[in-house]
Amino acid sequence: MAGKADAHEEIGINTRLAHMGPGPSERHGFVNPGIQRGSTVLFPNAQVMRSESQKYTYGTHGTPTTDALCEALNELEGSAGTLLLPSGLAAVTLPFIACLSAGDHMLMVDSVYAPARRFCENVLKRLGIEVDYYDPAIGIGLESLIKPNTRLVHMEAPASNTFEMQDVGAMAAVAKRHGCVVTMDNTWATPLYFRPLDHGVDISMHAATKYPSGHSDILMGTVSANAETWERLKAANRDFGLCVTADDAYQILRGLRTMGVRLAHHMDSALDIAHWLEGRADVAEVLHPGLTSFPGHALWKRDFKGASGVFSFVLKADRPEDWTRKAQAFLNALTYFGLGYSWGGYESLAVHVYLGDRRICKGPTTGPIIRLQIGLEDVKDLKADLERGFAAVREA
Ligand SMILES: *Cc1c(COP(=O)(O)O)cnc(C)c1O
């Protein structure tokens, strides 16, 4: 984007998304970059091959297409370097392996994306790494859980499924004072609505599968690191050899161009529906950080620039033995909301949330929890769909 605008001018996010990256003059005027597929890269002679002076050397180490995406993400995250990995889960777990050794201890938020907890229990513990879980609301009380061998603190805010917020800046400062690496899963907010590295986090991870893809057709994870941790991460991934295809990198780069307008639409529709749900007699609670009634609202308002389109609500149901039947009646009556995992695409989705793996932060006890991904459909049609769900619950 250099040279296109005065460096001191405050450039809006949608303008940045539209113009970031190398200009069209470098590709014969075509607006979009090409897709460079490849494993083998040829060297002009044996001396250059030996000298490691050539920019591209082998497909797993990057291509112009994957670099274009990494540079765009570095600009959005304020990071020194970004890794592209085959899934969001790989992006969350690779930094743990890169930063932890046998005998180390890590602190993991109890409301974490469930497969990340499974990785800690199945893989890290087997490798001799101790893991303790903390309450997302702990704040600077985190300090009391830090041991002499604590090396890493992982955060995720808002939490998966229940959306608890964390005081990221204060907690990161405490962790850093004790020499820990601080990692954060920032998938929900995207770097458009929250920039973890500006709040003291070392490594920001994303499931690019969600909003950056935006169309439920690409799986990718990204890990963006500050200068202190970047070399260590890059070295770890050189050992693993994890990479993505140029075609997928191109699609994520394409998704970023429209992510600002898509997110704004997801945000407005989701807040509209969240407010509407909050006023209903058949809803016990709405779990959305953008609602003033939500316990984490003040932190969200202080730190975040916006909210994405995923939140949960609790169906009012007094007797726990009715919960599953009522949740299933609700879901089965929906037509526009698909029943499926993941989110961030253009289409709405709904799931019955399972919190059985939680230890500390057990979530609401007022009824079954339904998570909604609000897509780009018209809000009135989505509300009519949800009305069908509530009618089915009343009959169940
Ligand atoms: C979906 C998700 C992931 C994993 O992404 P995949 O690409 O599906 O592996 C990680 N973290 C969060 C918060 C997610 O929602």
Summarize pLDDT for 86-119 with one digit per residue, the tens: 999 999 999 999 999 999 999 999 999 999 999 9
Q: Say which residue, 32 or 344, is predicted with more confidence.
A: 344
The alpha carbon dihedral of 31, 32, 36, 37 has a sign of negative
Confidence of residue 394 (pLDDT cuts 50, 70, 90): very high
Please write the tens of the pLDDT for every residue from 323-382: 999 999 999 999 999 999 999 999 999 999 999 999 999 989 999 999 999 999 999 999
By percentage, how much of the chain surpasses pLDDT 90? Answer: 91
Helix (H, G, I), strand (E, B) or coil at 283: strand
221 lines ligand 1 (CB under 6 A): yes
Which pLDDT score is estimated for 10? 85
Nearest to 109 by CA among 184, 198, 186, 201: 184
Phi, psi of 371 (to 5 degrees): -95, 135
User: Do strands 81-85 and 221-225 pair parallel, antiparallel, or not at all (unpaired)?
Assistant: antiparallel
Which pLDDT score is estimated for 6? 55
Which listed CATH number (1.10.287.610, 3.30.479.10, 3.40.630.10, 3.40.640.10) goes with 13-255? 3.40.640.10
Q: What is d(CA 351, CA 358) in angstroms, rounded to the nearest whole number?
A: 18
Contacts of 76 (CB under 8 A, 6+ apart): 16, 20, 191, 192, 195, 256
Question: Ligand 1 test: best mutation among 113, 223, 248, 341, most atoms within 8 Å of CB?
Answer: 113
- Whose alpha carbon is nearest atom 8 of ligand 1? 88
Please write the tens of the pLDDT for every residue from 221-271: 999 999 999 999 999 999 999 999 999 999 999 999 999 999 999 999 999
Residues 181-202, mean pLDDT to the nearest whole number: 98
* Identical fold, 13-255 and 259-395: no
Q: Looking at the whole model, is its pTM more than 0.85?
A: yes
Which pLDDT score is estimated for 396? 86
Confidence of residue 214 (pLDDT cuts 50, 70, 90): very high
Which pLDDT score is estimated for 148? 98
111 lines ligand 1 (CB under 6 A): no
pLDDT reading at 3 higher than 60: no
Question: Ligand 1 test: best mutation among 119, 163, 185, most atoms within 8 Å of CB?
Answer: 185
pLDDT reading at 7 higher than 60: no
Which DSSP letter does residue 121 get? I
Residues 167-179, mean pLDDT to the nearest whole number: 98
Domain ranges of the chain: 13-255, 259-395
Please identify, by atom number, the ligand 1 atom nearest to the C-alpha of residue 92.
10
Confidence of residue 8 (pLDDT cuts 50, 70, 90): low
88 lines ligand 1 (CB under 6 A): yes
CB distance 267 to 306 below 8 Å: yes
Contacts of 236 (CB under 8 A, 6+ apart): 94, 97, 98
Nearest to 168 by CA among 211, 118, 109, 95: 109
Residues 166-194, mean pLDDT to the nearest whole number: 98
Residue with tokens 């050794």: 101
Considering the segment(s) 259-395 as one domain, its CATH architecture is Alpha-Beta Complex (3.90)
What is the chain's mean pLDDT, rounded? 95
Task: Tell me how far the alpha carbon of residue 193 lies from the centroid of ligand 1, in angstroms.
Answer: 17
DSSP code string of 158-215: SPTTT-----HHHHHHHHHHTT-EEEEE-TTTHHHH--GGGGT-SEEEEETTTTTT-S
Q: What is d(CA 276, CA 286) in angstroms, rounded to the nearest whole number?
A: 10
Q: Say which residue, 4 or 369, is predicted with more confidence.
A: 369
Amino acid at 86: P
pLDDT reading at 5 higher than 90: no
